[in-house]
Amino acid sequence: MRDVDTALSEIDRIRAQLAASTRFQGFTPAVAAATGLLALALAAVQAGGLDPSTTPIEMLVQWMLLAVICACLIGADAVVRARRLHRAMADTMINTTLRQFLPVGAAGAIVAIVILVRAPAWAAILPGLWQLLIGIGILAALPALPRLLAWGAGWYFLAAIASLLAGAGASDVSPWIMGLPFGIGQLLIAGLLHAAIREDRHG
């Protein structure tokens, strides 16, 4: 039994190494673009003042809900596509990618809850912090992603700098300080994923 357990453990280790060195192909341009369009739509609705009584805190909660929706869309699409393309390696690849993204997502949620509950006066810097964490998340997962996505991480870092500078000391939160960076960033990610897929087909 010990030999069998050792052999199974070795197989799991080899599979994990293969997953870590194999490019994850679960993310699609269409879903990335859809999340960007959703962000631009929410920013337009908020900026249009359809509900003038909405407070900055409520606006940011709406962005948090949209982030959850986008994460579910991306995650569901990634699982379906990974099972089709990676087959036996799918579960290992999905778990490896999740381990790279989840800490960043958890950090974003913790920071948001602490600021909104204990320091709402700092709420205007949340969009910049979220954009910074998205950039970090992309870089953390880059070994398993198309290298072109480094440009997407670069965009989020630049957007984070601009958003943090705009939000520092501000008493209000502009919908576009979240909507434009995320909307443009996700559309850029979609374009980069499309370019990577074409490169693979013709490479």
Distance separating alpha carbons of residues 179 and 173, to the nearest angstrom: 11
Report yes or no on 75 lying in a domain.
Answer: yes
Question: Domain residues for 127?
Answer: 27-198
Task: Quote the longest CA-to-CA distance of the chain.
Answer: 68
Specify whether the CB–CB gap between 43 and 180 falls below 8 A: yes
In a domain, 100, yes or no: yes
Summarize pLDDT for 84-115 with one digit per residue, the tens: 766 666 677 777 777 778 889 899 999 999 99
Question: Average pLDDT of 33-62?
Answer: 86
Query: What's phi and psi for 177, nearest 5 deg?
Result: -70, -20
DSSP result, 49-98: TSSTT--HHHHHHHHHHHHHHHHHHHHHHHHHHHHHHTGGGHHHHHHHHH
Sign of CA dihedral 86, 88, 89, 94: positive
Cβ–Cβ < 8 Å for 85, 22: no
Question: Does 107 fall in a domain?
Answer: yes
Examine residue 74 and state whether it is found in any structural domain, yes or no: yes
**Could you identify the residue written with the tokens 């559309």?**
187
Tell which residue, 192, 201, 190, 196, has the closest CA to residue 33: 190
pTM for the model: 0.84
Find the length of the chain.
Answer: 203
| pLDDT value of position 52 | 59
Within-domain flag for 84: yes
Q: Answer yes or no: is 93 within a domain.
A: yes
Confidence of residue 21 (pLDDT cuts 50, 70, 90): very low
Q: How many domains does the chain have?
A: 1
Q: Which among 41, 36, 65, 62 is positioned nearest to 152, based on CA atoms? A: 36
Does any domain span residue 82?
yes
> pLDDT tens digits, residue range 53-70?
678 888 889 999 999 999
Residue-wise pLDDT for 149-195, tens only, equals 999 999 999 999 999 999 887 778 889 999 999 999 999 999 999 99
Q: CA 34 to CA 41: how far, in whole Å?
A: 10
Q: Confirm whether 19 is domain-assigned.
A: no
Taking residue 155's Cβ as centre, other Cβ atoms within 10 Å add up to 21
